[in-house]
Chains A and B, each alone.
Chain A
Amino acid sequence: MATPAANAAPSVSPSLSLPPSQFARLQPHAYLLAHLSPPPASNQPSIRANGRAPSQFRVTSANAGSLTHTNGSAVVRIGDTTAVCGVRAEILHTDDIASWSVSSSSTSNSNKRRRLGEKTTDEDEGQDENEEDRAHIEDLNLLVPNLSLSTGCAPGFTPGAPPSALAQSLSHQILSLLHSTRLIRADDLRIWYQPPNLGSEALERHNESQQMEIDAGQGSEESDPQEIKAFWVLYIDVMIISLAGNPFDAAWAAVLAALRDTKLPKAWWDIDNETIICSDDISEASRLSLRGLPVASSFCVFEADAAAGWRAVVIPDVNDQKAQNQRKKGPQQKWILADPDGYEEGLSQERATLVVDKAKNGKNVILKMEKHGGWSVDTEDLRQLVEISGQRWDEMKRILDQC
């Protein structure tokens, strides 16, 4: 549409009468494509509409421990996406667990002994301990992550409404990642009780009988019989304050930073009050000893012609030849964009999320790999993404160590 102004000044070509910001709104796909595939003559690198290189992440900052009423808290900003995470620890008494039995507390006995003996923090823990970690943390729901998007973080999420599908999905992704990475040791969450020595006659009867039972179970082994009296339950609440794409990376980074910041008070079973009492002394509190540092990196795939792959399968003979040719020498057909912002997320179907950690020897360990929404990313691409995620890990480690 030629405006009168354009007519009056013939030197301005009509195509330029649309300012870039409006072009971006009207033709988002073409706008991003134009950025990513500059004319070959210009010799410019392929760059995203937001000025980043395809594999570049946004500026990330993290700040931990600023919230007063939490055991651990963190604010993580990835570009314009902001996530606040607060970890609150509460106590779950074993009396309140319906399925709890003395046997389950005594089996953990041997475990505890070994923990005291070796103090292993490496990856080479016994399989049985892993199994028990899983049993306690997952079966007893000791980790309770919830993510909220109803904070006015973006238009379209009505505040006060029940959690949207996206919020529910993100909460569950965080939960399953917490479980599958075994980030938190169940041992950090257990509150033990060591009954006084059996020799004293002053012991109350019910205590005595309990003692006997355990001893019997242990096969009269000479050991300090300890029992689990309670667990810490970690309520991990993430508020997405501002949403501009890629909420998962920000939320997970906030959870990670908050858990690294989390201090649990020293707690013990008080036999007189029959309850758990904690010490508020900060020097007696202990931090969680997390397993590794899983860092999430999300990508989206921007396709020049989103329907090309679809056509190739459904009607293979139509432009099969053309597509083949294009794929070989034609312009690039797809771009994998790291850390997509909201604009880019709206233009792509295919997503990939990788969670990697680094072993001591600097090798990438893939803890989670998820890809959905399309088929243009192949094995080779994924291998490359693992590489990029590895670099991201280094960056995130630096940021998290500083906060």
Chain B
Amino acid sequence: MMADRRRVNGPSGGTRPAVFASLAESGTGVSERAQRQRQPSELRKIFLKTGLIPTASGSSYLEFEPSASLAAARINPKSLIPPSSALKLACTVHGPKPLPRSAAFSPNLVLTTHVKYAPFAARKRRGHIRDASERDLGVHLETALRGAIIAERWPKSGLDITITILEAEDDRWWADAPDSHDASWGMMNVLAGCITAASAAIADAHIDCLDLVAGGVAALVSDEEKQSSAAPKLMLDADPAEHRSIVSACVVAYMPARDEITELWLKGDSSKASLENGDKRSVHEALLDGAVDAARGAHTVLAEAVRESLLKTVG
């Protein structure tokens, strides 16, 4: 493998992450799965603040409230293994600025989105170069925002949106086998956070939008040992670390004023799942509605943060 000469490289032989013995010691109580303390339709609190980065035309910082278990672990630390993690990300907006001279004419604002995890954002160390999942997130984010921005007001201009994820969401509980649900469910929570934060930063940069677009996640989770015994439950803003398995999840970018979705990403096999009795909707519709509800919740936080930033500039 070629070493990257532009960075400081570690030992050439490679290093290994620490292996903890606690899995072997049964009955320590440390390796207890965190339990969801919230109601199924209750979201985690979102801390959102705009304008923290003065060199950018717009910026925002978003943080999810740590789960009950993580908060407890923070106050009274026992183990070096965190029970779960809480999203933290910073978003900057640069522009609108003239497109480079080499670029082709564009009658609309050209949006560029860039999502990068910090190397220390997740349990597994991330590389310095964006991998496929980070690029994938960038495309999702671009789709979500492009529908909301009134792009024809800035012909021949570009807008760069950069998100640095300082702490990501877990894909599963850390002590679960890596396969138990290996799909990257945490990525969906991250995307929802990215959408909300980017929307706040765009408003902070005074770019015209149709509405503040907010991200929301809903998931069908099953916490029973046997999958067949009970119907999976619909949870808003599910933290994958708190559930045994996630059957299916959905993230949307939603504009309440127009009741429209600019980005929809649903995955997981929900064919065998059935909703609680009386619910006539098909599973994917229920998921979609749940995600929209979650986005509505995020939207109230978003609106408040934008109002605050406006008062700051006016006052």
Contacts and interface: CB of A to CB of B under 8 A. Distances in A.
- Does a CB–CB distance below 8 Å link A and B in the complex? yes
Interface of A: 67-71, 73, 80, 82, 84, 86-93, 96-98, 140-142, 144-146, 148, 150-155, 159-160, 162-163, 168, 171-172, 175, 233, 235, 237, 239, 241-244, 263, 265, 267, 270, 275-282, 285, 342
Interface string B60-103: 00000000001000000111111001101011111001000000
A239 B164 CA distance: 9
Contact of A91 (B17, B82, B94, B164): B17
B188 interface: no
B160 interface: yes
Interface string B1-42: 000001111111111111111100000001000000000000
B18 A265 contact: yes
A244 B92 CA distance: 14
B6 A159 contact: no
Contact of A159 (B14, B18, B97, B116): B116
Interface of B: 6-22, 30, 52-56, 59, 70, 77-82, 85-86, 88, 90-94, 97, 114, 116, 118-123, 125, 128, 130, 160-164, 166-167
A239 B88 CA distance: 13
Contacts of B93: 152
A11 B114 CA distance: 53
A243 B125 contact: no
A280 B167 contact: no
Given A67-B88, A84-B118, A159-B162, 13 more contacts: A80-B53, A90-B18, A98-B12, A141-B9, A151-B92, A151-B116, A152-B160, A152-B161, A153-B56, A160-B130, A163-B6, A233-B15, A242-B55
B11 A142 contact: yes
Of A70, A89, A93, A152, chain B has the most CB atoms within 10 Å of the CB of A152
A276 B92 contact: no
B17 to A, nearest CB: 5
User: B12, B90, B91 — which one has the most chain A CB atoms within 10 A of its CB?
Assistant: B90
A148 B121 CA distance: 14
Contact of A155 (B8, B20, B56, B123): B56
A243 B123 CA distance: 27
B245 to A, nearest CB: 22
